[in-house]
């Protein structure tokens, strides 16, 4: 059967419109995870976070974060005592905000805290530690890989 050029153009338009509608429906059903639901409020506080990160970066001894197969090991500098540090650890999962985890900072006498990774999905995580010591606030962030 032979097609005329008019039939070919009509068929091309129909296929194009069908594909566009299909793509719109597909992308409309995808779940979009914002990094934060209150991003505007966090943007306003961003300069404070920059200042805290700069203070942490200027410490002569910085907190150390290491990951092995089963644990995340955090060691704080000996500049501080364990009882004068308060704060929190956020394990931020960029691909799924429902997996984010906030843990209170609870250091032992050796200024260490271990976090078991058995309940964490494997992949990329961002660990954010926000703490106050001697009335001064600090912040560090590191990207880690959990197996």
SS (H, E, C) the chain: CCCCHHHHHHHHHHHHHHHHHHHHHHHHHCCCCCCCCCHHHHHHCHHHHHHHHHHHHCCCCCCEEEECCCEEEEECCCCCCHHHEEEEEEEECCCCHHHCEEEECCCCCCCEEEEECCCCCCEEEEEEEEEEECCEEEEEEEEEEEC
Q: What pLDDT, on a 0 to 100 scale, did the predictor assign at position 69? A: 79
- Give the chain's mean pLDDT: 89
Read off the pLDDT of residues 37-48 as tens digits, 9 standing for 90 and up: 666 777 777 888
pTM for the whole structure: 0.71
Q: What is the pLDDT of residues 2-55, one digit of tens each?
A: 778 889 999 999 999 999 999 999 999 887 766 666 667 777 778 889 999 999
């Amino acid at each position: 059967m032979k097609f005329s050029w008019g039939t070919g153009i009509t068929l091309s338009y129909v296929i194009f419109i069908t594909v566009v509608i299909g793509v719109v429906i597909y992308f409309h059903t995808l779940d979009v995870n914002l990094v934060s639901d209150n991003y505007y409020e966090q943007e306003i506080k961003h300069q404070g976070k920059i200042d805290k990160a700069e203070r942490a970066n200027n410490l002569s001894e910085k907190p150390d974060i290491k990951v092995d197969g089963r644990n995340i090991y955090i060691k704080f500098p000996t500049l501080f005592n364990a009882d004068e540090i308060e704060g929190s650890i956020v394990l931020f999962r960029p691909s799924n905000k429902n997996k984010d985890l906030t843990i209170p900072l609870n250091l032992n006498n050796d200024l260490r805290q271990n976090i078991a990774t058995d309940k964490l999905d494997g992949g990329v995580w961002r660990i954010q530690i926000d703490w106050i010591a001697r009335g001064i606030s600090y912040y560090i962030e590191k990207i880690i890989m959990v197996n």
